[in-house]
Amino acid sequence: MSVSMRDLDPAFQGAGQKAGIEVWRIENFKPVPVPQSSYGKFFTGDSYLILKTIALKSGALRHDIHYWLGKDTSQDEAGAAALKTVELDAALGGRAVQYREVQGHETERFLSYFKPCIIPQEGGTASGFKHVESEEHKIRMFTCQGKHVVHVKEVPFARSSLNHDDIFVLDTANKIFQFNGSNSSIQERAKALEVVQHIKDTYHDGKCDIATVEDGKLMSDAETGEFWGFFGGFAPLPRKTTTDDVKSAVALPTQLFRVEKGQAEPVSAGTLTKELLDTNKCYLLDCGDEIYLWMGRSTSLDERKAASGAAEEYLRSQDRLKSQIIRVIENFETVSFRSKFDAWPQSAEVAVSEDGRGKVAALLKRQGVNVRGLLKAAPEKEEPQPYIDCTGNLQVWRVNGQEKILLPVPDQSKFYGGDCYIFQYNYPGEDQDECLIGTWFGKKSVEEERSSATSHANKMVESLKFMASQLQVYEGSEPSLFFAIFQSFLVLKGGLSDGYKTFISENELSDDTYKEDRVALFRVQGSGPENMQAIQVEPVASSLNSSYCYILHSGSSVFTWIGNLRTPEVEELVERQLDVIKPNMQAKLQKEGSESEQFWEILGGKSEYPSQKIARDAESDPHLFSCTFTKGELKVIEIYNFNQDDLMTEDIFILDCHSSIFVWVGQQVDQKLKTQALVIGEKFVKHDFLLEKLTVQTPIYIISEGSEPEFFTRFFTWDSTKSAMHGNSFQRKLSILKNGGRPTLSNKPKRRTPGAHVGRSATNEKPQRARSVSFSPERVRVRGRSPAFNALASAFENPSARNLSTPPPQVRKPYPKSDSSNVAPRSTAIASLTSTFEQPPREPLMPRSIKPRPKSPPKAESNSKENIMSSKIETLTIQEDVKENEVEDEEGLTLYPYERLITVSTDPAADIDVTKRETYLSSAEFREKFGMTKEAFYKLPKWKQNKLKMALQLF
């Protein structure tokens, strides 16, 4: 579509450059920007254009355009709004979805922009109306409908307007009443309270009383009596009458029309297929309540305007002016549009052409308009994070038939592809102790044992009163969180379970279960010592990949193969995985392109192999769905522009991030339905409501209300006190409303320990982190290893063989707690510290968390300098239970040069904490090496600190 400057209205210059909402009102058939302070205020006699710009994770900007028509707007003004919408889309590059919104029949997407509701006011501009300005408060009554967004409509202030099915808000001078029809749902009542709050803030400056009235409640209640007093006393309510606004549309067969010269002509076709759509044409698809206008990429701006006019005329000819019109552009069709066609072809992600947008940007740039945002949003480059504390306690069971067998610590991270596993991970959360119970299904595991694993996991969650989160994982589709929990993860071929052995026996298959004396090839992958995996693959050359490193062993020969496109981090991980798989043998280095004949001979000869890294599903922009599950049938409704308040305690919701699915279960959900949460998640994945090519292996999380972990709450602006409240949605909202907008809790949430557990080791000490070393092919692999590595490696080691790896050095804290055996005389300490205390206080170089201590009773004043210094010395005493992320002041710390602190130093510093090597650097050398101060460094996330330390050989 070609665009010239004369085709674009000047009011659209610079539109859609950043995320947010922009609004224009049609005045004299021209768009006029509306001030941001007036967003959400609409007049019944006007027409408006609303642009919603969303910044996607990919860095691109997505646009949705709505044109809103008041019930009293003129036909000419409505037509102008429709045409200006096409112009605005052209200014944005011609790929926005455009929605026609009619007052009282708005889409939920549109209403979500102006939460909690819109209440159009009488009046208008171009239509000749005057905006009504009330001098005194007028009693008004509104009906509220909707569980997720609220459709508010003003109704006559009369008893005849009330009924048992809806919720009504009566706005009087000094009090706002909410009348809950006996047939209304709890969720609708809760959402209506948001409307009450909006009316209170907007029309009463937040100063009026609020009362709720239940349908059928006796007059003995004072507020109920006051409510009915406005209607002349209580009387039975009439039955709800069906009006034109709420009449259900007659089901019409879906029909396709081709738009030719402003006229809609039927297209005869047995079934709807994409091949019927010509890129040089525009088409109407009549689906009853919705009418889609599809515009080919090669159509001109004038053709699109003519097609828009034809769609409006089509509605008028059928007296369906309240129906929705949704305009879509070729290659940017919505999910709902594609779902109307039979077998819409699945295609790769469309490469968005910048041609139209670039031309518009060039025109605007000549006029001095900043067009950076119009061309492309800045991509957000963030490394994946696990969003879970990785210092918790882990238990793992292998499923064998209907039993589960607890694995010893050395085998916890060693899985077989033919088996199923259950794990329980307990860890400290932000507000309380958290628990995650998960299942892992190997690619060749049998269905009976998968069902058994799921059953055991469900019972474990039920035994914890649904306070634990749950995760279902398939081999090859593990989320980063799973790898972060296991840290060093090994997947072996074959299986140990009876189910696997029976399966291969019945099907006369060879047993390829891993044996140390057989030929085995492992692909090494990961991002660091706390996230590394070794995956056993077929021992053939085609299994190699230039983006990875590999370990190959056959008998007494061990090789490491280094791909040319691997990252330095992966190359180091090979050394660490060798400590696990073959700790007693020296490996022969094989660089890609210079392999030995013996290496190729073991793999059966050379062959072609890939070079691109194995793609994993990336996390996409999240979508929230409300679920209804009845008689095995799942129905979902998408919640747009969602927030925490959209999660109703009576319902089940699904958060779809493409790479993972989260099923959130409210506290008030029926107990039987809670047990089917995983089934609901599996049905959602199978149905693929967003047509995003979900696979049955997509990880599924089950999240219980009140126990939401950080890896779920990160998608919201989260207030944990809201999820800890008691009562149904209506009771909670009413409590917040009457408490001035703040959640109220009878008791502060306590830290929760879901159940007794055994840690990664037999002791309760925090597990020592694995340490990083620099790799050199010439040197022998002799190094200290963490207890976790020693435990896992012990399963592979020959007890009679000599272990080349040295035991880990003794770890000492940089600030050991003083005792009477090594403390200098008090007078000496006072003398050495006096000058320090007399100086003005300074900020510590590194942040620390200080635990509050109980105040001591007041002591008699003393002029003794020794007593004063003694108390100050006591404040400097370092507690031995300092958390890993707590850092002490540098006073008294011995400093060493960088060369003596690195892991490969020829003259290593003695008596240091090898997990905090960087603390022994001077401030100047720390800034030189890390490019930042110590204070800035310790404000970084732990995973980022470790990555920087790895790069400097300090980890």
Q: What is the mean pLDDT of residues 634-639?
A: 95
For residue 772, pLDDT over 50 is answered with: no
For residue 40, pLDDT over 80 is answered with: yes
Q: What is the mean pLDDT of residues 886-910?
A: 76
Q: What is the mean pLDDT of residues 170-196?
A: 95
Q: In this structure, what token pair is assigned to residue 794?
A: 């012990």
Predicted pLDDT of residue 134: 53
Beta carbons within 8 Å of 348's beta carbon, 6+ residues apart: none
**Vertex 788: Cα angle to 787 and 792 (nearest 5):** 115
For residue 889, pLDDT over 60 is answered with: no
Instruction: Tell the residue number behind the tokens 């009549």, with chain if given.
Output: 286
Instruction: Tell the residue number behind the tokens 């790769």, with chain if given.
Output: 348
Predicted pLDDT of residue 720: 87
Q: In this structure, what token pair is assigned to residue 943?
A: 């995973």
Report how far residue 758's alpha carbon sits from residue 756's, in angstroms, rounded to the nearest whole number. Answer: 7
Max CA distance (Å), the chain: 103
Around Cβ 765, how many Cβ atoms within 10 Å? Answer: 10
Going by pLDDT thresholds of 50, 70 and 90, the confidence category of residue 651 is very high
Predicted pLDDT of residue 749: 46
Report yes or no: 637 and 652 within 8 Å, Cβ to Cβ: no
Please name which of 450, 532, 533, 437 lies closest in space to residue 492, comparing C-alpha atoms: 533
Around Cβ 886, how many Cβ atoms within 10 Å? Answer: 16
Instruction: Tell the residue number behind the tokens 């039955």, with chain if given.
Output: 239
Going by pLDDT thresholds of 50, 70 and 90, the confidence category of residue 343 is confident
Range with lowest mean pLDDT among 56-60, 379-383, 418-422, 716-720: 379-383
For residue 870, pLDDT over 50 is answered with: no
Beta carbons within 8 Å of 825's beta carbon, 6+ residues apart: none
Pairing of strands 557-562, 588-591: parallel
Predicted pLDDT of residue 3: 58
Task: Render 350-408 in DSSP notation, one character per residue.
Answer: P----HHHHHHHHHHHHTT---HHHH-PPP--------S-SSSEEEEEEEETTEEEEPP
Q: What is the mean pLDDT of residues 296-311?
A: 92
For residue 590, pLDDT over 70 is answered with: yes
Q: What is the mean pLDDT of residues 662-671?
A: 95
Report yes or no: 80 and 56 within 8 Å, Cβ to Cβ: no
Instruction: Tell the residue number behind the tokens 């003003």, with chain if given.
Output: 154
Predicted pLDDT of residue 848: 33
Predicted pLDDT of residue 77: 92
Range with lowest mean pLDDT among 359-368, 432-441, 644-653: 359-368
For residue 790, pLDDT over 90 is answered with: no
Going by pLDDT thresholds of 50, 70 and 90, the confidence category of residue 268 is confident
For residue 353, pLDDT over 60 is answered with: no
For residue 858, pLDDT over 70 is answered with: no
Range with lowest mean pLDDT among 402-411, 543-552, 771-780, 920-929: 771-780
Please name which of 279, 275, 951, 824 lies closest in space to residue 568, comparing C-alpha atoms: 951
Please name which of 16, 23, 32 lies closest in space to residue 92, comparing C-alpha atoms: 16
Helix (H, G, I), strand (E, B) or coil at 48: strand
What are the strands of the beta sheet with 255-260, ordered from one edge?
30-33, 20-27, 47-55, 61-69, 97-102, 324-329, 290-295, 282-286, 255-260, 263-266
Q: In this structure, what token pair is assigned to residue 364?
A: 């605007």
Kindly state the helix (H) or strand (E) to which residue 292 belongs, with its residue range: strand 290-295
For residue 807, pLDDT over 70 is answered with: no
Q: In this structure, what token pair is assigned to residue 462?
A: 């039920």
What is each CA distance from 53 to 40, 96, 351, 364, 755, in whole angstroms?
A: 16, 10, 20, 19, 46
Going by pLDDT thresholds of 50, 70 and 90, the confidence category of residue 361 is low
The proportion of the chain whose per-residue pLDDT surpasses 70, expressed as a percent, equals 77
For residue 642, pLDDT over 50 is answered with: yes
Please name which of 523, 537, 542, 516 lies closest in space to residue 600, comparing C-alpha atoms: 542
Instruction: Tell the residue number behind the tokens 């919201």, with chain if given.
Output: 716
Mean pLDDT, the chain, rounded, equals 81
pLDDT digits (tens, 9 = 90+) for 733-760: 999 888 876 776 555 444 444 443 334 4
**Count of residues making up the chain:** 955
Amino acid at 313: E
Q: In this structure, what token pair is assigned to residue 435?
A: 């628990």
Q: In this structure, what token pair is assigned to residue 294?
A: 């599809």
The proportion of the chain whose per-residue pLDDT surpasses 90, expressed as a percent, equals 55
For residue 378, pLDDT over 80 is answered with: no
Q: What is the mean pLDDT of residues 771-779?
A: 33
Alpha helix stretches (DSSP H) within 744-808: 787-794
Q: Which residue has the higher pLDDT, 67 or 805?
A: 67
Around Cβ 363, how many Cβ atoms within 10 Å? Answer: 19
Report yes or no: 88 and 129 within 8 Å, Cβ to Cβ: no
pTM for this entry = 0.76
Report how far residue 945's alpha carbon sits from residue 934's, in angstroms, rounded to the nearest whole number. Answer: 11
Helix (H, G, I), strand (E, B) or coil at 252: coil
Q: What is the mean pLDDT of residues 936-944?
A: 80
Amino acid at 901: L
Q: In this structure, what token pair is assigned to residue 386?
A: 């696990």
Q: Which residue has the higher pLDDT, 241 or 916?
A: 916
Pairing of strands 433-441, 469-474: parallel
Q: In this structure, what token pair is assigned to residue 392?
A: 């918790």
Beta carbons within 8 Å of 602's beta carbon, 6+ residues apart: 519, 539, 552, 554, 557, 559
Going by pLDDT thresholds of 50, 70 and 90, the confidence category of residue 320 is confident
Predicted pLDDT of residue 251: 59
For residue 247, pLDDT over 50 is answered with: no
Predicted pLDDT of residue 563: 94
Q: What is the mean pLDDT of residues 333-347?
A: 85
For residue 857, pLDDT over 50 is answered with: no
E strands in 159-243: 167-171, 175-180, 209-214
Going by pLDDT thresholds of 50, 70 and 90, the confidence category of residue 405 is very high
Going by pLDDT thresholds of 50, 70 and 90, the confidence category of residue 890 is low
Around Cβ 32, how many Cβ atoms within 10 Å? Answer: 14
Q: Which residue has the higher pLDDT, 869 or 56?
A: 56
Range with lowest mean pLDDT among 153-157, 200-204, 812-816: 812-816
Q: What is the mean pLDDT of residues 705-730?
A: 92
What is each CA distance from 939 to 330, 845, 890, 936, 945, in whole angstroms?
A: 47, 11, 17, 5, 9
Q: Which residue has the higher pLDDT, 110 or 288?
A: 110
| Peptide linkage before 840 cis (omega within 30 of 0) | no
Task: Render 421-467 in DSSP notation, one character per residue.
Answer: EEEEEEEE-SSSEEEEEEEEE-TT--HHHHHHHHHHHHHHHHHTTT-
For residue 787, pLDDT over 80 is answered with: no
Helix (H, G, I), strand (E, B) or coil at 926: helix
Predicted pLDDT of residue 808: 37
Going by pLDDT thresholds of 50, 70 and 90, the confidence category of residue 863 is very low
Predicted pLDDT of residue 135: 60
Report how far residue 442's alpha carbon sits from residue 529's, in angstroms, rounded to the nearest whole number. Answer: 24
Query: Is the four-CA dihedral 214, 215, 220, 223 of positive or negative sign?
Result: positive
3-state DSSP of 856-916: CCCCCCCCCHHHHHHHHHHHCCCCCCCCCCCCCCCCCCCCCCHHHHCCCCCCCCCCCCHHH
Beta bridge partners of 260: 263
For residue 51, pLDDT over 90 is answered with: yes
Predicted pLDDT of residue 892: 64
